[in-house]
Each structure stands twice: as structure tokens, then as C-alpha cells.
Chain A
Amino acid sequence: GAVVSQHPSWVICKSGTSVKIECRSLDFQATTMFWYRQFPKQSLMLMATSNEGSKATYEQGVEKDKFLINHASLTLSTLTVTSAHPEDSSFYICSALSGVGNYEQYFGPGTRLTVT
């Protein structure tokens, strides 16, 4: 089956620093990737959608200057949390679609970010 990896699986950073999270599709080309955020005991909230080679589309209420998304290739998307603060601590999950008209999203294992 299609596999999506994320790195790192967990990260602790100090307030004010930036953190980059990578999302890779290992055995397929991902035309579209998604970034979700999940708070404890809550559902997944879509943050943004990105297509390879174009700017990401952010959901309402998500700060695009704070959560920088780059989808540089068909197998790699990155999420950079800039000037992180404790309220950014969360579980970030990426997901990928393998082609136009394919409605099945494959999810990465998630990245636990803790900002101290």
C-alpha cells in the first residue's frame, strides 16, 4: 500500500525558534498534500492544501506566515512552524493524494511538537 512518512516523529523546541517537519510519499507521487493539526482528544483540523509547484491554500483562521508550507516535489512537502509559541504545541499530521480523481488520502504517522 501507499506509505507516507514524517520526520521527525517528535520534536521539542524553545519558544521563538522555528521547526521544520517533513512529509514524504515513499512509493507514489503525491500531486496533492494536506497538513492537519490535532489537539488532544479532538479531531483533525485541516490547515492547508498544497499542490506540487504551487502555493498552498490555507484554511480560514490559519496564519500562512506562521505555518509555511512548501511542496517542492511530488514526493516531499514541508511544514515550517515559524517563531513557535507554546500554543503551537500539537500533533501535526500530513496526508497525500496519489493523483487527480483519486479520493483516498494516505496519512503519515504524525509529528508531536512541544514548544517550551
Chain B
Amino acid sequence: QVQLVQSGAEVKKPGASVKVSCKTSGYIFTGYYIHWVRQAPGQGLEYMGCIHPNSGGTRYAQNFQGRVTMTRDTSITTAYMDLSRLTSDDTAMYYCAREPPDTGAFDIWGQGTMVTVSS
């Protein structure tokens, strides 16, 4: 079945970077955008950006431009999200999600990766 499995929880110090992985299986990796969404504790969902695994093309939300980098490794059907210059405001659950072609919707989600930024 289609699955997105994310890497484990991270604890980082302010100013550091974090890289979260999203291992996919059960479908053609290069045919679907992968999006990243985060959710701070007790807060709503915040869109971060996306990558198309075939071309490697990316689009980043304005709030994260200059600080986020999304990449992929097609040989292991895995997408990555790298966020730099972390502050306590980046403490959140980070999700990857798949978008079927021409739907603008996120049909399958990863289980989430908790990133805690604390000195």
C-alpha cells in the first residue's frame, strides 16, 4: 500500500539546522509532488512548500524562502526537507504529504516528525 514514513524526532539548538526525511513506497515516486506542512503545538497547519521528484523543481512558501531546502533521492524514493537557522518558533510537527497529479490535494500523509528547538 502507499506509505510515507518519516524520520524520527529531533532536538536542536537555536541556530542549528534540521533535515527531515520522508521515505515513500507503494507508488511511482516520480509521478507525484511531495509537499511539506508543519504544525506548532496547539496551532493550525502551515504550508511550507513542495518538490516534484521527477524534475527536482521546488516551490517554497514566502515565510520559509531562504531558510528551507527541499530535495529528493529518486534511487531510494525519499524526499527531504532541510530547515536552517532554527529558532524556538520552529518547534513543531513536520509532515510530508503526497499530491496526485492535477488535484491540488494531499491524499497521503506521513506520520509526522516532531522537531524541538531548545537551548
Are A and B physically bound partners? no
* Residues in chain A within 8 A of chain B (CB atoms): none
